[in-house]
Chains A and B, each alone.
Chain A
Amino acid sequence: MIRDITLGQYYPGDSILHRLDPRIKILATLAYIILLFIVNEWIGFAACFVFLAVEVALSKVPLSYILRGLKVIFLVILFTFVLNLFMYDGEVLVRIWKLTITDQGLKRALFMAGRLILLIISSSILTFTTTPIQLTNGLERLMKPLSKIGVPSHEIAMMMSIALRFIPTLLDETDKIMKAQQARGADFESGNILHRAKQMIPILVPLFISAFRIAQDMALAMEARCYHGGQGRTSMTEMRFRRRDYITAVILLLFAAGIITLRVLI
């Protein structure tokens, strides 16, 4: 159950998306997310959907694996949907007690939930096809201009990739601790909310202690290998844009132009 969380994980493979330059992938994902919020008509939405569908197909990551990641945040999506459903004025479709569902509300709710789903899938495609190291290197390079104005770009990139790297480790740890407490008769599945909240203590305390221990070990191991921040650090593999990266950039620009034109015209 806890292992269903696939968010932020790398999915080994050798698809064209896996081989693209991480910088292009990061920029493309950012651009795609912005476009998702520019879109406000069915047709643009359909275009975004198709674009992502092609991306998923190219990545060769099984659909079931991608959807597993969505399962975990299903509640968030549902909440957004319901909230939006009742929030807008318009032609009344259904009336439940004092709440009304309007055509505008339904449309917005569908759009918002759809946006969330596409947003999550598109960003998981980024992490599924990019190793944490590539992701860090890409982020660092993209943020490099910012270091001139004092943004610690290397440190930010490093922190992000370590955080990603530790999601599975901490999930493993949680799983182990939960089982150990269950073996001692703890019951996490029944009882009221108060009881369940209390049952979290035997999981959370050991989990925090483990997290601190892991972090400390990691810091020591990095220092033992002479890590001292980003200054003067070089990379074994230099990133270079290739033909496929330029082609991707062009496709992306065309897509963005199309979406923006749609928005302006309609």
Chain B
Amino acid sequence: MSIEVRNITHIYNKGLPQESVALKDVSFTVEDGEFLGIIGHTGSGKSTLLQHLDGLLKPDEGQILIGDVDITAPKVSLLAVRRQIGLVFQYPEYQLFDETVAADVAFGPRNLGLGQEEIDERVRESLSMVGLDYEKIKDKSPFDFSGGQKRRIAMAGVLAMRPRVLILDEPTAGLDPRAHRDVLNMIRAYHKSQADSIIILVSHNMNDIAEYADRVLVMDKGQVRMHGTPKEVFARSAELREIGLDIPDLADLAEKLLARGLHVPKDAFTIPEMAQAIAMQLRGGKTDPAAEGGEDA
């Protein structure tokens, strides 16, 4: 099931003095099994775009096809669309409402009309997927947890719907480094566990995008500026900086080393990879498998 976005335009407050064009002629496709990263400066239209993909906003122009269903058509069943697509909003912890953690996580599956047994099973599974102990927390109030834990509970609420397409809007904003890692690894684990599932991740962290995404979409003032593999996109560092973005730390390091005459690859996006390349250069071309953490050159 692929996603095809065709020339969508969205204008907020159309016809009013505060009218603003949030999306302008945006087109791209996402293939089956793809992990798409979306980057763009504040106000570039990322959140607006994501809401279109879930049918929460209607474009003023253009179409969106999920599989063969045009979700912008007038009489399409949005519940059927949302059965396939899970959207985790920015700061999802503020959407918790039920008395117990288990009941809150079950809200989505219940809306899908699943049976009680299936619901219980999914609640248990998705809570463990986000690293929480079902038995310990199921009867507690979701409001008695810390911000980071609440976020996990809220994410479990979306995962419990087992979406084929999982969309996340800055899921790591405001988390500590450990929780940040955990959330990203959890997303990756979900991606692997569901065959052919699509992940769309919005993030302001270039390192994460470089490490996790298969392809990257760059938004600028409501338009698509670039779309390609991390390697292709992050090679255009000057352009990215011009629109208020940046390149991953390792790409930055590679750029600086290259300028000093050390031949390291520009697209080594993990630390071990980069360390090995640097070590190889310093030793005059020999490989050293044990070279890890040698980031400071």
Chain A positions within 8 Å of B, measured between CB atoms, are 3, 11-12, 62, 64-65, 176-177, 179-187, 201-202, 205-206, 209-210
Contacts and interface: CB of A to CB of B under 8 A. Distances in A.
Nearest to B90: A176
Given A205-B97, A206-B96, A184 B56 contact: no
A64 B103 CA distance: 44
Given A183-B82, A183-B86, A209 B56 contact: no
A162 to B, nearest CB: 21
B138 interface: no
Given A202-B97, A206-B96, A184 B111 contact: yes
B95 A181 contact: yes
Interface string B1-40: 0000000000001011100000000000000000000000
Nearest to B163: A183
Contacts of A177: 94-95
Contacts of B112: 185
A182 B107 contact: no
Contact of B16 (A65, A201, A202, A206): A65
Contact of B92 (A65, A180, A210): A180
B82 A210 contact: no
A187 B111 contact: yes
A209 B143 contact: yes
B111 A186 contact: yes
B108 interface: yes
Given A65-B16, A179-B51, A179-B56, A184 B97 contact: no
Nearest to B16: A65
B79 A185 contact: yes
Given A183-B82, A185-B79, A202 B107 contact: yes
28 contacts: A11-B17, A12-B17, A64-B15, A65-B16, A65-B17, A177-B95, A179-B51, A180-B87, A180-B89, A180-B94, A182-B78, A182-B82, A183-B56, A183-B89, A184-B107, A184-B157, A184-B158, A185-B79, A185-B83, A185-B112, A187-B79, A202-B95, A202-B97, A202-B98, A202-B107, A205-B97, A205-B98, A206-B96
A4 to B, nearest CB: 11
Contacts of A64: 15
B170 to A, nearest CB: 14
A205 B94 CA distance: 10
Nearest to A204: B97
Contacts of A176: 89, 94
B94 A210 contact: yes
Interface string B77-119: 0110011011101001011111000000001100110000000
A183 B15 CA distance: 28
Contacts of A201: 97
Contact of A206 (B17, B79, B94): B94
B54 interface: yes
B107 A183 contact: no
B161 interface: yes
8 interchain residue pairs of minimum CB distance: A185-B111, A205-B97, A180-B95, A184-B108, A183-B87, A202-B97, A179-B56, A180-B89
A206 to B, nearest CB: 5
Nearest to B160: A184
Contacts of A187: 79, 111
Q: Could you say which of A176, A180, A183 has the most chain B C-beta atoms within 10 Å of its C-beta?
A: A183
Contacts of B96: 206
Q: Could you say which of A12, A180, A209 has the most chain B C-beta atoms within 10 Å of its C-beta?
A: A180
A202 B40 CA distance: 31
A102 to B, nearest CB: 42
A201 B99 CA distance: 11
Contact of B95 (A11, A12, A206): A206
A183 B54 contact: yes
A206 B89 CA distance: 14
A187 B82 CA distance: 11
Interface in B35-71: 51, 54, 56
A177 B97 CA distance: 10
A185 B161 contact: yes
B34 to A, nearest CB: 21
Contacts of A182: 56, 78, 82
Contacts of A3: 13
Contacts of B111: 184-187
Contacts of A65: 16-17
B222 to A, nearest CB: 19
Nearest to A179: B56
A14 to B, nearest CB: 13
